[in-house]
Structure 1
């Protein structure tokens, strides 16, 4: 039967604790555990560190006993699974490193054991992977995977441990969400996106046969969400923005881009790259960047007027960030000052690594409406204003939504507005 034994080889102020693992004439291996014992405090007889104030000796002693049990159990399992497994220094080091939450030089082993190593491998595979529709995985999707990886790495730094795939359970779920809420100060919808990614990683690890708990399949392993008060612009507000004169050229340029976004229903990544070549027979015709979906959109009268004043050209190029800054000023000058419920980015002071740090996070409340205006309002407004006026399928073909569920998520008509529509309808019936 295989046996394990600890010893130290030196008599320095600090001494590495070695683990010797052997079985008869089959093998006799000795590897440093990386754990250390202060001078004169090691007991070979008791196989433990004696009482000392220099280290957490009780915790280390427990760890040493657990490590011995773990290695012997792994050895017995390996004999049952594959008799050809070579028990050598590399095997023992891998087991010790894994038990003590240390990555090894064996990338394949790391991928099977640690969450971040698996995600790194998953991301690399995604760069050349095809989706179910035989299209490449979008760069934005890979960027989101990377952001999720960064959040998990930050969590590991926060708790002081690397997370194993075998530890992705309900306790991890609870602690990770608590970290994102209380330390990272993130809102539920953002956190939900990261949990969705983790579930995806777990499914893929499971499909590969890696050891992982089934907790990710449970209802309790939920993705947080909250009902957002996303706003949209009314026709009167759009017309006010369109008809307002702006002395500053940068604001005039931003206003024109905003109107184009509002009257096409395109995402900012699509409407900010429009050019003359995208207009064919009086229609805008493009392949959307996010979904690679072909859309054809008629030119609204306000868009035609913008193109006419620029001799057929679209407004001057502008970055996403600058547009989102300018459109708030545009809306303010146009008089969109009504107090409105919504969320906006606010500076928040948090403690990070023991220091006060200022971060930007969304904060829900009531604000003047112009403070809530951004490029994201365009698509919601387009869908909301047309909903109920023409059939839903027609709007979806223009917005590029492939399911009605996705589309209805953009409709921001309030219950009171629906009630007012019914009231107006009854009044017409009476007349």
Structure 2
């Protein structure tokens, strides 16, 4: 006949594990830990239960009785269905009885982030055409930065985070830490929540238990009214195109009077012309700074008299082709393709070129505070806010409504029009779309000759 007993394996003067012994008959005995502990002085050898001398022991006594009943009920049911009764079966019953979650190394948030990073080159990524293998360099970088943030947060709360613990209260506390303690921008904090949700969804796919809430974590971005984007207009690009960098004495004086702006770069006619060419090229082809700086002669393709740039975008793996037609950009591509330089160096040069070109209107925007390493909103000279990410926005903004949006999207690589419009801080203008259709319709039909049609009057005369 089956029996259940509870015993202690030690009489040390400290809390020890309470074991459960299950006898299924014919000398077969199974022993596992209940997960509960007690000091031996509070244990009754007579009843094999805690002495009911305090509230804690009374609760423990009730839990052991509950477990005994649960095991017996499960045993009777499973024996009737020829289920194997062993230590794994008993451990499962204990977990089920108290709805316990198994905490394993695989269930640690930091470990699953590492798992994603370590397997980055073999992970499947959904694309418009199906799937590709391997995460992009920028995605791996985002996961790595997220791992660093989680490591820091664990030090703050002084515990390791299990994926099963990612509940609504946890996310609210984590969000508060990101925004109010770390002072991250709205977009950056929201991005971390987006990655957290992605990690949880991936963990569930790998059979790691997660909370239902973790798959619905809401991330956020700054609203349109809080976004301040900087672009270079056609007029400002003309100023950049025409500024003279040949007076070396003026350049020396400029470097001397602008030590902060020029401290990391060489101010010469050659370096400034090189930076200017990157700016003019970048604002005409609408690509990200990283893709722009990878352009070489191998990206240039000729078909008849037409010039094309073929680019494989690093972030999205999209292949885009840009037609080069502006005369000054044709000249750059054919005769003075700029020399590659570090991304940060380019950003430093952009500010210098823009200031020398007189692009110094005071505008509202965000600028990095080097002491706090956080972006701060304020009023600054426009040249101080310019960087390579402004090129793509300038292209999209300058040509919006002048060139059909689907064509612009194919060049910038945005997946849909709504993202494109958000990128340039515009709302969909339905009237403008209708006007554009009518304009193209008129162009399409302007050379057609009206046809005379004879209409019968309905008589035989």
Q: Same fold (TM over 0.5)?
A: yes
Query: Is residue 2:80 matched to residue 1:116?
Result: no
Q: 1:78 to 1:346 in 2, by over 3 A?
A: farther
Query: Is residue 2:235 matched to residue 1:199?
Result: no
Alignment of 1:32-431 (within 5 A): 44-46=40-42, 84=84, 87=87, 109-111=104-106, 113-132=107-126, 133-136=130-133, 137-218=135-216, 221-227=217-223, 228-246=227-245, 247=251, 248-249=267-268, 250-281=271-302, 282-299=307-324, 300-307=326-333, 312-348=335-371, 359-412=372-425
Q: Distance in 2 between matches of 1:232 and 1:262?
A: 9
Q: Write out per-residue CA displacement over residues 151-200 of structure 1, whole angstroms, 9 at most, x where no aligned residue.
A: 22221221011222221111011011111112322111111111112222
Q: 1:333 to 1:10 in 2, by over 3 A?
A: farther
Q: Distance in 2 between matches of 1:402 and 1:334?
A: 35
Q: Write out per-residue CA displacement over residues 227-248 of structure 1, whole angstroms, 9 at most, x where no aligned residue.
A: 3211111111111122212343
Q: 1:284 to 1:270 in 2, by over 3 A?
A: same
Q: Distance in 2 between matches of 1:65 and 1:338?
A: 73
Q: Write out per-residue CA displacement over residues 39-62 of structure 1, whole angstroms, 9 at most, x where no aligned residue.
A: xxx953237xxxxxxxxxxxxx89
Q: Distance in 2 between matches of 1:78 and 1:126?
A: 43
Q: 1:199 to 1:272 in 2, by over 3 A?
A: same
CA RMSD of aligned residues (A): 3.9
CA drift at 1:294: 2.1
Q: Write out per-residue CA displacement over residues 56-89 of structure 1, whole angstroms, 9 at most, x where no aligned residue.
A: xxxxx89x969x87x969x95997999658538x
Q: Distance in 1 between matches of 2:191 and 2:87?
A: 42
Q: Distance in 2 between matches of 1:333 and 1:101?
A: 64
Aligned length: 363
Give the match for residue 38 of structure 1: none
Q: TM (normalized to structure 1)? A: 0.72
Q: Distance in 2 between matches of 1:85 and 1:324?
A: 68
Give the match for residue 428 of structure 1: none
Q: Distance in 1 between matches of 2:34 and 2:362?
A: 68
Q: Distance in 2 between matches of 1:3 and 1:339?
A: 80
The answer to whether the 8 Å contact 1:20/1:28 transfers is no
Q: 1:158 to 1:378 in 2, by over 3 A?
A: same
Q: Distance in 1 between matches of 2:287 and 2:347?
A: 15
SS of the residue corresponding to residue 321 of structure 2 reads strand
CA drift at 1:121: 2.6
SS of the residue corresponding to residue 409 of structure 1 reads helix
Q: 1:144 to 1:251 in 2, by over 3 A?
A: same
The answer to whether the 8 Å contact 1:102/1:162 transfers is no
The answer to whether the 8 Å contact 1:114/1:164 transfers is yes
The answer to whether the 8 Å contact 1:231/1:412 transfers is no
Q: Write out per-residue CA displacement over residues 196-250 of structure 1, whole angstroms, 9 at most, x where no aligned residue.
A: 12222222333444332211355xx321321321111111111112221234333
Structure with higher Rg: it is 2
The answer to whether the 8 Å contact 1:253/1:316 transfers is yes
CA drift at 1:139: 2.7
The answer to whether the 8 Å contact 2:21/2:32 transfers is no
CA drift at 1:405: 1.7
SS of the residue corresponding to residue 374 of structure 2 reads strand
Q: 1:32 to 1:292 in 2, by over 3 A?
A: closer
Q: Write out per-residue CA displacement over residues 283-333 of structure 1, whole angstroms, 9 at most, x where no aligned residue.
A: 21222222222222222322233346xxx3421220111111221122122
The answer to whether the 8 Å contact 1:343/1:363 transfers is yes
Q: 1:336 to 1:125 in 2, by over 3 A?
A: same
Q: Distance in 2 between matches of 1:101 and 1:148?
A: 25
Give the match for residue 444 of structure 2: none
Larger mean Cα displacement after TM superposition, 136-145 or 75-84: 75-84
Q: TM (normalized to structure 2)? A: 0.68
Q: Please, which runs of 5 or more residues in structure 2 have no aligned partner?
A: 24-28, 44-55, 246-250, 252-266, 436-461
Q: 1:102 to 1:339 in 2, by over 3 A?
A: farther
SS of the residue corresponding to residue 340 of structure 1 reads strand
Q: Distance in 2 between matches of 1:208 and 1:2?
A: 36
CA drift at 1:385: 0.3
